[in-house]
Amino acid sequence: MALQVRLGSRMSSLVSMASVSKSLIFFLLSTLSILPTYTHPLDPLTPTEFTKIQSIVHNSYPKSNHSIAFHYVGLEEPTKTAILSWLEGTATRTPPRQAFIIARINQITHEIIADLSVRNIVSDRVYGGYGYPLLTFEEQGTANALPFKYTPFLESIRKRGLKVEEVVCTSFAIGWYGEKRRSKRVVRVLCNYLDGTVNLYMRPIEGITVTVDLEEMKILGFKDRSTVPMPKADGTDYRESSQKPPFGSPLKGISMHQSDGPSFTIDGHAIRWANWDFHLSFDARAGPVISLASIFDLQKQKFRKVLYQGFLSEVFVPYMDLNEEWYYRVFFDAGEYGYGLCAVPLEPLRDCPENAVFMDAYVADHNGTPVNMPNIFCIFERYAGDVMWRHTEAAIPGKVIREVRPEVTLVVRMVSTVGNYDYVNDWEFKQSGSIKVTVGLTGLLEVRGSMYTHKDQIKEEAYGTLLAENTLGANHDHFFTYHLDLDVDGDANSFVRSQLLMTPVTDHRSPRRSYWRVVSETAKTESDARIKLGVAQEDLLVINPNKRTNIGNFIGYRLIPGSVAAPLLSDDDYAQIRGAFTKYNLWITPYNKSEKWAGGLYVDQSRGDDTLARWSLRNREIENKDIVLWYTLGFHHVPYQEDFPVMTTLSSGFELRPANFFESNPVLKVRPPQPDNWSNCSRA
């Protein structure tokens, strides 16, 4: 099966690193799988449950006379009220264990909710709107193989002087460009070339397009429009084993191990570290899901709620090349391909440090069969030499007082490889109460083959940068939209937008001519909370208007944005209509269990009629309500030669930081950890 081949083996990597050191023994123990048993209502589905779901659906739709494909299988989460009651011990019964399934049955989309305890279908709704569910690996793999049995395609490859056995094909969603009629479930298959490299993305076969009907699994259309020179294989292979001298200067060994083991505990999917307690789950569409994050307040001697649930809702990646084989390259990585489905095994000591603990995940394949995804998460404590807080006091006569606390944090990491890009996703918890979310972009660019070998030859719009001979890197964007259901000390919250305004001094009360002041406004409805960052200087807070500190400030959490980028497409561009949720960097909506996916539930060939932008048009009340913050982190990517043949990681993120949440500095009494081998530290 394609998915199994893609994932590879986990134990082989462990065997190859055998050593007898104390730290390695801990490392080997830490990589043992955490058994996938259900102990919490928000735990991801287990292999046994996937098999049960498969059986429930097949019992209702026997395979003998039904064509069934499973496109999404995930937990049907209990209501928020039921979860909170269960946590508080006031629930009269355990929340029901249910699954949400999107299946194509006889080429019709069904939304099925199955109850796993009584083994039956609770609801079965036929979806008749625009858009289709996630593409599966299996159907993409079958579609990618079709050109190799198609005579016109083979002739086009031969006329270019290429070897058919060195050709690799991949599937692309086709999007929507104003068509009135409903389209079939189709993809376009485009191909690349190996022959001397594994970096197929640097050797595109331009001009050939194959259109495939995924339901009938047959070729609907074929076009060989043009021929351009094939980029060279030389210099494109990124493998360590393929590199030749000269090499960069070697670095001496760096170690991050904990001889006494980690400071965090994992009980099923519940994680406790320092003053944090949270639940980590996995979703085939979103990847990591952080739930029920609470922090222990040392002064109040209790855990306090911060984040009910946070996850990556959608990734919108529009390319700016208008050529016939390129204009539709507008990707929704979560809704079309499955950000979680595309998660890859993390490599010990490369992706994660030696003190990391690894966790597996499970998904259902095209047939509903459970598939193990090894080493999908790593959890580790990070000390990178950063400072949590410090002060040196030299103003007291005869004394020098210095206090420093090192910054030790807990990181949850997953890497999703969606085609050519590798996305490194971190959720980082700080003892100070902050949650820092970071995404790193690395991997390979999408490039277009061209006739150009030097920039001076380019006279028309090239839609990108010439990176190497016959190789154009396409301009594009990445927008990551996060669903952040903050429950700051409770679920009744408000959003406060505080503008920092330059204020002139006109009454001569000071020699100064101006200063800035804070003007705060509480958003009443959704329209009040839509924000394009960078237009004004602002402080953005979610507060609990029903609770105050001892001196009267509303308790809250700040959103500290990272890199600011906004879409540069026109509002009437079909790509932007579908990705309209990126028009604002920040939205606030009232909590609605069904509003999870910013790009809509069905994204493939969607028409933008079920997105965050559409929901928000209702302009619902959001003051002193259970609210959700949606934040979009963006990158405009103009390629540069340093991105060739593989791109070094470009990172950005955002931070959720306490704002009058505590009575004073919550890490004043934090004691620094005692480093291993402290006596070995040296000075230059």
pLDDT digits (tens, 9 = 90+) for 262-318: 999 999 999 999 999 999 999 999 999 999 999 999 999 999 999 999 999 999 999
pLDDT digits (tens, 9 = 90+) for 553-584: 999 999 999 988 999 999 999 999 999 999 99
Q: What is the pLDDT of residue 254?
A: 84
Residue 363's nearest CA partner among 36, 634, 655 is 36
List domains and CATH numbers for the chain. 47-126 (3.10.450.40), 137-239 (3.10.450.40), 310-494+522-659 (2.70.98.20)
- DSSP string of 163-206, one letter each residue: -GGGEEEEEEE---SS-SSPPPSEEEEEEEE-SS-S-GGGSB-T
Q: Is the four-CA dihedral 300, 41, 308, 261 of positive or negative sign?
A: positive
616 φ, ψ to 5°? -70, -15
pLDDT digits (tens, 9 = 90+) for 222-255: 999 999 999 999 999 999 999 999 999 998 888 8
| Whether the predicted pLDDT of 545 surpasses 90 | yes
Residue 580's nearest CA partner among 549, 616, 627 is 616
Which residues 6+ apart lie within 8 Å of 277 measured at CB? 270, 271, 292, 293, 294, 295, 296, 303
| d(C-alpha 370, C-alpha 472), whole Å | 41
Catalytic residue among 72, 328, 421, 482: 421
At which residue do the structure tokens 């493998």 appear?
A: 239
pLDDT digits (tens, 9 = 90+) for 524-544: 999 999 999 999 999 999 999
| d(C-alpha 148, C-alpha 412), whole Å | 42
| Whether the predicted pLDDT of 683 surpasses 90 | no
Number of other residues whose CB lies within 10 A of the CB of residue 528: 16
Question: What region does 131 belong to: left with phi over 0, alpha with psi -120 to 50, or beta?
Answer: left
Tell me if the bond preceding 504 is cis, omega within 30° of 0. Answer: no
Tokens describing residue 217: 């699994």
Q: What is the pLDDT of residue 41?
A: 96
Length of the chain: 684
Q: Which residues pair with 544 in a beta bridge?
A: 555
Q: What is the pLDDT of residue 539?
A: 96
At which residue do the structure tokens 């858009």 appear?
A: 131
Q: What is the pLDDT of residue 440?
A: 97
Do the beta carbons of residue 207 and residue 226 sit within 8 Å?
yes
98-105, strands of its sheet edge to edge? 68-76, 98-105, 108-115, 120-126
Residue 283's nearest CA partner among 317, 313, 316, 315 is 313
Tokens describing residue 145: 């193989």
At which residue do the structure tokens 């429930």 appear?
A: 56
pLDDT digits (tens, 9 = 90+) for 345-354: 999 999 999 9
| Whether the predicted pLDDT of 5 surpasses 70 | no
Residue 263's nearest CA partner among 377, 357, 389 is 357
Rg of the chain over all Cα atoms, to the nearest angstrom: 27
| d(C-alpha 104, C-alpha 72), whole Å | 10
| d(C-alpha 27, C-alpha 144), whole Å | 39
Q: What is the pLDDT of residue 28?
A: 42
Which residues 6+ apart lie within 8 Å of 424 measured at CB? 413, 415, 438, 439, 440, 441, 442, 649, 651
Q: What is the pLDDT of residue 196?
A: 95
Q: Which residues pair with 272 in a beta bridge?
A: 265, 277
Spacing of C-alpha 302 from chain mean position: 31
* Model confidence band, residue 342 (pLDDT cutoffs 50, 70, 90): very high
Query: Measuring CA to CA, how many Å separate 650 from each of 12, 332, 565, 616?
Result: 30, 20, 14, 32
333 annotated active-site: yes
Q: What is the pTM of this model?
A: 0.92
Tokens describing residue 412: 């949850």
pLDDT digits (tens, 9 = 90+) for 114-153: 999 999 999 999 999 999 999 999 999 999 999 999 999 9
* Model confidence band, residue 21 (pLDDT cutoffs 50, 70, 90): very low
Give the rounded percent of residues in the chain with a pLDDT score beyond 90.
87
Do the beta carbons of residue 430 and residue 293 sit within 8 Å?
no
Question: What region does 299 belong to: left with phi over 0, alpha with psi -120 to 50, or beta?
Answer: alpha
Q: What is the pLDDT of residue 38?
A: 58
Tokens describing residue 71: 């496109």
What letter represents residue 548's amino acid? R
What letter represents residue 23's amino acid? S
Residue 98's nearest CA partner among 49, 35, 59, 54 is 49
pLDDT digits (tens, 9 = 90+) for 99-110: 999 999 999 999
Tokens describing residue 213: 């009907």
Alpha-helix residue ranges (DSSP H) falling in 75-131 = 80-88
Tokens describing residue 87: 């946590």
Tokens describing residue 619: 């302009």
Mean pLDDT over each residue of the chain, to the nearest integer: 92
What letter represents residue 237's amino acid? D
Q: What is the pLDDT of residue 1?
A: 27
| d(C-alpha 491, C-alpha 627), whole Å | 8
Residue 369's nearest CA partner among 186, 138, 533 is 138
Do the beta carbons of residue 625 and residue 524 sit within 8 Å?
no
| Whether the predicted pLDDT of 684 surpasses 60 | no
50 φ, ψ to 5°? -60, -45
pLDDT digits (tens, 9 = 90+) for 397-447: 999 999 999 999 999 999 999 999 999 999 999 999 999 999 999 999 999
The single-letter DSSP state of residue 343 is: B
Do the beta carbons of residue 132 and residue 176 sit within 8 Å?
no
| Whether the predicted pLDDT of 258 surpasses 50 | yes
201 annotated active-site: no
Burial classification of residue 16, based on how many CB atoms lie within 10 Å of its CB (0-12 exposed, 13-18 middle, 19 or more buried): exposed
Q: What is the pLDDT of residue 32?
A: 40
pLDDT digits (tens, 9 = 90+) for 161-218: 999 999 999 999 999 999 988 889 999 999 999 999 999 999 999 999 999 999 999 9
| d(C-alpha 363, C-alpha 101), whole Å | 12
Element (H, E) at 555: strand 554-560
Alpha-helix residue ranges (DSSP H) falling in 75-136 = 80-88
Tokens describing residue 385: 């030499």
Do the beta carbons of residue 381 and residue 258 sit within 8 Å?
yes
Comparing 87-91, 120-124, 265-269, 493-497, the range with the smallest average pLDDT is: 87-91
Do the beta carbons of residue 390 and residue 652 sit within 8 Å?
no
Q: What is the pLDDT of residue 457?
A: 96
Q: What is the pLDDT of residue 396?
A: 96
Do the beta carbons of residue 71 and residue 103 sit within 8 Å?
yes
Q: Which residues pair with 121 in a beta bridge?
A: 114
Catalytic residue among 333, 365, 426, 491: 333
What letter represents residue 245's amino acid? P
Query: Measuring CA to CA, how many Å separate 218 from each of 92, 143, 210, 214, 288?
Result: 54, 8, 10, 7, 35
Q: What is the pLDDT of residue 115?
A: 97
